[in-house]
Amino acid sequence: MLKALKPIKSKLQIYTFPAEMGENEVNAVGLTPIVVGTINPGKTTAQDTIKAAKLLRNHNVALIVFVGGDGTAQDILKAVDQEIPVLGCPSGVKIHSSCFAINPEACARIIMRFLWEELPLRDAEVIDVNEEAFRNNQLEVELKGYLTVPYEPYLLQGEKMTSPLTINEQDNQKMIANYIIENMENDVYYILGPGTTVRAIADVLEFEKTLLGVDICLNKKLIAKDVNETQILQIISGKKAKIIISPIGNQGFILGRGSLQISPKVIQEVGKENIIVIATRYKLSSLPQGFLRIDTRDKNLDASFKNSYIRVIVDYNEIRIVKIQ
């Protein structure tokens, strides 16, 4: 994000907190910040984030930009509420709130457009996964409040939308699951991404799947539960594997957001041609601008997906072709 701002550095004044809370990164790209506040380097906490946001607000900056995920967004909410415009640069594990740009480069573009083209402001939801519901293996989102953000619909992500628990939606998930299972190959490792749509596969196969985690099945049986990147690579190394993933509702991210375990290394080991995308008709219709997105944290890998098309299974033997933007 900071590198994308370098061409306008003579017209931009950046305020930041010390050391690892901004100063190091700003200096590293050749920008000259005004450093405010104090921290205990190496031991920063959420309270430092709250203190930084309050102090920056008191310096009357035009915009507070924070780097992190939903937890950091909640800290910013506690500090400034809706008193000053803010913008999230996505870098956390859980990034469901609608105050985030779709990627760091888009964040820089929003900053520039806000400062010089007077983008309108809008209320953006700050949400978090309901941990109590998660312990009961249910996916619910909890509204924490609203932040005021510059509004650029093509560069700002929408809020996370859960799949409706209607009979038709559940039937749609089950029909997708039946189609996937009937077409599963013997001795192929299937990496199952998070979400209720993918969990329907486990439900039909009668094994328990982690709702927000990644699991692996082989020959229609669960062999590894809630695995991380290292575990996935150890299990599938040198073997044939496929990834089954579903987009985040109303955001369209199929890789990266919410499934960091399926890392660039895992994707390269499996092969792009072995990625299976599934989505109910409702979820597909809720995608912003009607396309899918990728944010794996690997620019070259993301670029290899952009402006390509991928098959999305939306029902039993029913396929849609969707663009990856």
DSSP codes joined into one string, 134-169: HHTT---EEEEEEEEEE--TTTBPPPP-PPP--HHH
Contact of 297 with 291, CB cutoff 8 Å: no
pTM as predicted:
0.67
Residue 25 CA to residue 48 CA, distance in Å, equals 17
Q: What is the mean pLDDT of the chain?
A: 88
Domains of the chain: 2-150 (3.40.50), 167-324 (3.40.50)
Over the range 187-212, which residues count as b (16 or more CB within 10 Å of their CB) and which as e? eebbbbbbbbbbbbbbebbeeebbbb
Measured CA to CA in angstroms, residue 41 lies from 19, 23, 70, 271 at distances of 7, 12, 23, 41
52 backbone dihedrals φ, ψ, rounded to 5°: -65, -45
The predicted pLDDT at position 132 comes to 67
The predicted pLDDT at position 21 comes to 93
Neighbours of 142 (CB within 10 A): 12
The predicted pLDDT at position 127 comes to 84
Residue 32 CA to residue 78 CA, distance in Å, equals 28
Burial class (CB in 10 A: 0-12, 13-18, 19+), 317: exposed
The predicted pLDDT at position 47 comes to 94
Quickly state the pLDDT bin for 91 (edges 50, 70, 90).
confident
Neighbours of 12 (CB within 10 A): 14
Quickly state the pLDDT bin for 288 (edges 50, 70, 90).
low
Taking only the tens place, the pLDDT of each residue in 151-173 is 887 777 765 555 555 568 889 99
β pairing state of 241-245 and 189-192: parallel
Whether 277 shows a pLDDT value over 90: the answer reads: yes
User: CA nearest 136: which of 75, 82, 210, 61?
Assistant: 210
Taking only the tens place, the pLDDT of each residue in 120-155 is 898 988 888 666 665 555 556 678 999 999 988 777
